[in-house]
Amino acid sequence: MKKVILINSTDYEKRVAILEDNNLVELQVVRPETDRMVGDIYKGVINTVLPGMQAAFVEIGMPKAAYLHSSDIGKVDVRDDSDEEFEEEAPAEIIRKKRREGIEKVLKKNQEILVQVIKEPISTKGPRVATEISIPGRFVVLVPDDNHIRISKRISNWTEKKRLRKALSPLRPEGFGLIARTEAEGQDEKEFRADIKRLLKLWSKLKKKADKLEAPVLIHKEAELTVSMIRDIFSDEVEKIIVDSREDYRKVVSFARQVAPHLKGRIEQHKSDQPLFDLYDLEPEIEKMLERKVWIKKGAYLIIDQTEAMVTIDVNSGRFVGKRDQEETIYRVNMEAAREAARQIRLRDIGGLIVCDFIDMYSRENRRKLYEEFKSCFRHDRAKRAINPVTDFGIVEMTRERVRPSHMHMLSEPCPYCSGAGRILSKETMATKVERWFIRARAAKKFDRFHLVVNPMLAEAMSDNGSSRIDQIMKRNHFQINLVRDTALRLQEFKIYNAATNEDVSDVYKA
């Protein structure tokens, strides 16, 4: 598989695109106002402990307190500023395990604690944090206050897993755990030793900083987008990295020289006048990424709807009618849809609960093949996920790790007209609402002359020649109504003024 990484930078935005066989499969975007937080380490203060939710809120110096669930608590150094006394020389270390102490026995209000962001703020929620700190390197992850050696689940070869465990065991520092990353596959002891040495040096700096500063405070900022992408995915699989910024090019080369010197020659600086993403024709793909309808081959398409609770993907055969029997046609549409749905999920960075509604198939074997194909499309996905087999109704349920808002939420904002619902009230519905307002006004018997201000499209619908609703309202209620067209008003808005005083009475008789 041909893999290429493109890094595009401007004064207001930085984008990293990952291409697999010339297809855009992943896009990361960072803007100054939406800085990445995952991996940041804070010295925080426990604000509230909620035993009923088995969770706590931690003040880390942000507008919203961070959320800490009991399942995200590892070892905690229990020292706080409350009246309770703890032994200073040997602070108690409590390991939270399933069905052990409740969170209220582990954490106390005003307790200072080191936490790491594992999920960025999404919608109305603050960031989610964990107390188990992990510091990623090129080949291993250093986990303070741990004593285990773990291997990445993406390394499937049992012989290699055994070799890695054997190689890392004598290198594990006392009081630290190690996780072998996917990139560790095939690496020797020398690389691990250098990586661990770098990470221990970094942790020592962080610990000193944490002891010196008062909470709440940021202790460690995760590496910026370009550096973290190089650290996490720059491997022998990557054919080349192209960077269009001279500053980023130097940064990437410098970092690669430290962690992967043998790959330094694969980094190129884009010097053409043509924009980098235009060269690979990516801008149209990025534009389509925000569209609800996604066309597949031969006239089939997907409908992708994102809601607060879940994301639904509906498969439609559209104009694709096939040439053979119906089952074969449906099977081919579903297979194409599975590939495109998986690509869109990765590209849009969709997380949480995802439901894919494929076209019903009678054959169990075809459903099995569809499931295997859909699952295999995620083999290069870096996010954790779980996918259930296709049900009898053609539904595939899956969950995907959500660490930051999807691109739809990041690159767009709710429509000011529909508030994100995707639909607005029809002209007929709005005309009826106006009519009901005047019925209430007639019952009150306070006014009889009005200025009705509406959007021109609504005005046209209410004053059609021959059967004007305005004329009918005036005749029925014995009112005088002056219809005023205002382009500044939205279709679902109207204003009504008392013609005698020009007083706005719109809210007086609203339902």
Instruction: Give the domain extent around 382.
Output: 291-407
pLDDT (mean) for 142-154? 87
pLDDT (mean) for 132-157? 87
Rounded distance between C-alpha atoms, residue 403 and residue 274, angstroms:
34
Strands (E) across 3-146 are located at: 3-9, 14-20, 23-30, 41-50, 55-59, 66-69, 75-77, 79-80, 93-95, 111-119, 128-130, 135-136, 140-144
Q: In 3D, which of 57, 88, 201 has the Cα closest to residue 135?
A: 201
Q: Is residue 163 part of a domain?
A: yes
Secondary structure element (H or E) that encloses residue 315, with its range: strand 310-316
Q: Is residue 368 part of a domain?
A: yes
Up-side HSE of residue 44: CA atoms within 13 Å toward CB? Answer: 31
Categorize the per-residue pLDDT at 92 as very low, low, confident or very high, splitting at 50, 70 and 90: very low
Q: Which CATH number is 66's domain given?
A: 2.40.50.140
Q: In 3D, which of 316, 306, 253, 313 has the Cα closest to residue 421?
A: 306
More confident residue, 84 or 474: 474
Secondary structure element (H or E) that encloses residue 339, with its range: helix 326-348
Which of 220, 246, 267 corresponds to the end of one domain? 220
Ramachandran quadrant class, 315 (left: phi over 0; alpha: psi -120 to 50; beta: rest): beta
Q: Is residue 497 part of a domain?
A: yes
Q: Are residues 122 and 237 in the same domain?
A: no
pTM for the model: 0.74
More confident residue, 464 or 495: 495
pLDDT (mean) for 141-145? 90
Q: Is residue 127 part of a domain?
A: yes
Q: Are residues 64 and 90 in the same domain?
A: yes
Q: Are residues 211 and 161 in the same domain?
A: yes
Q: Are residues 165 and 209 in the same domain?
A: yes
Q: Is residue 28 part of a domain?
A: yes
Backbone angles phi, psi at 55, to 5 degrees: -150, 165
pLDDT (mean) for 16-36? 83
Residue 75's pLDDT is what? 58
Q: Are residues 200 and 133 in the same domain?
A: yes
Residue 328's pLDDT is what? 84
Flag whether pLDDT at 93 surpasses 70.
no
Categorize the per-residue pLDDT at 308 as very low, low, confident or very high, splitting at 50, 70 and 90: confident
Residue 98's pLDDT is what? 42
Assess contact for 256 and 264: CB atoms under 8 A: yes
Q: In 3D, which of 475, 344, 492, 345 has the Cα closest to residue 428?
A: 492
What are the respective helix, strand and coil percentages of the chain, to the nearest 5? 35, 25, 40
Task: Give Cα separations from 117 to 3, 107, 197 (angstroms).
Answer: 30, 18, 24
Say how many residues make up the chain: 511
Please enumerate in sequence order all residues whose Cβ is within 8 A of that of 177, keeping only pairs 6 or more positions apart, or say none.
142, 143, 144, 146, 147, 148, 149, 150
pLDDT in tens, 456-484: 999 988 887 556 888 888 988 889 999 99
Task: Give Cα separations from 420 to 103, 190, 307, 365, 424 (angstroms).
Answer: 38, 54, 10, 40, 10
Q: Which CATH number is 258's domain given?
A: 3.30.420.40
Q: Is residue 417 part of a domain?
A: no
Average pLDDT, whole number, for the chain?
Answer: 85
pLDDT in tens, 348-402: 989 889 999 999 988 899 999 999 999 999 988 888 899 999 998 889 999 998 8
Categorize the per-residue pLDDT at 2 as very low, low, confident or very high, splitting at 50, 70 and 90: confident
Q: Is residue 88 part of a domain?
A: yes
Which of 166, 187, 220 corresponds to the end of one domain? 220
Q: Are residues 255 and 363 in the same domain?
A: no
Q: Which amino acid is at 110?
A: N
Strands (E) across 181-222 are located at: 217-220
Q: Which CATH number is 311's domain given?
A: 3.40.630
Q: Are residues 22 and 54 in the same domain?
A: no
pLDDT (mean) for 304-317? 89
Q: Are residues 477 and 351 in the same domain?
A: no
Q: In 3D, which of 381, 308, 306, 316 has the Cα closest to residue 350?
A: 306
Q: Is residue 183 part of a domain?
A: yes
- How many domains are contained in the chain? 4
Q: Are residues 57 and 148 in the same domain?
A: yes
For residue 276, give the DSSP letter: H
Q: Are residues 162 and 233 in the same domain?
A: no
Name residue, tokens 């690979």.
280
Q: Are residues 57 and 121 in the same domain?
A: yes
pLDDT (mean) for 144-148? 86
pLDDT in tens, 215-251: 899 998 887 777 887 777 887 788 889 998 888 888 8
For residue 270, give the DSSP letter: -
Q: Are residues 262 and 313 in the same domain?
A: no
Assess contact for 161 and 104: CB atoms under 8 A: no
Rounded distance between C-alpha atoms, residue 68 and residue 298, angstroms:
48
Residue 184's pLDDT is what? 86
Which of 256, 283, 310 corresponds to the end of one domain? 283
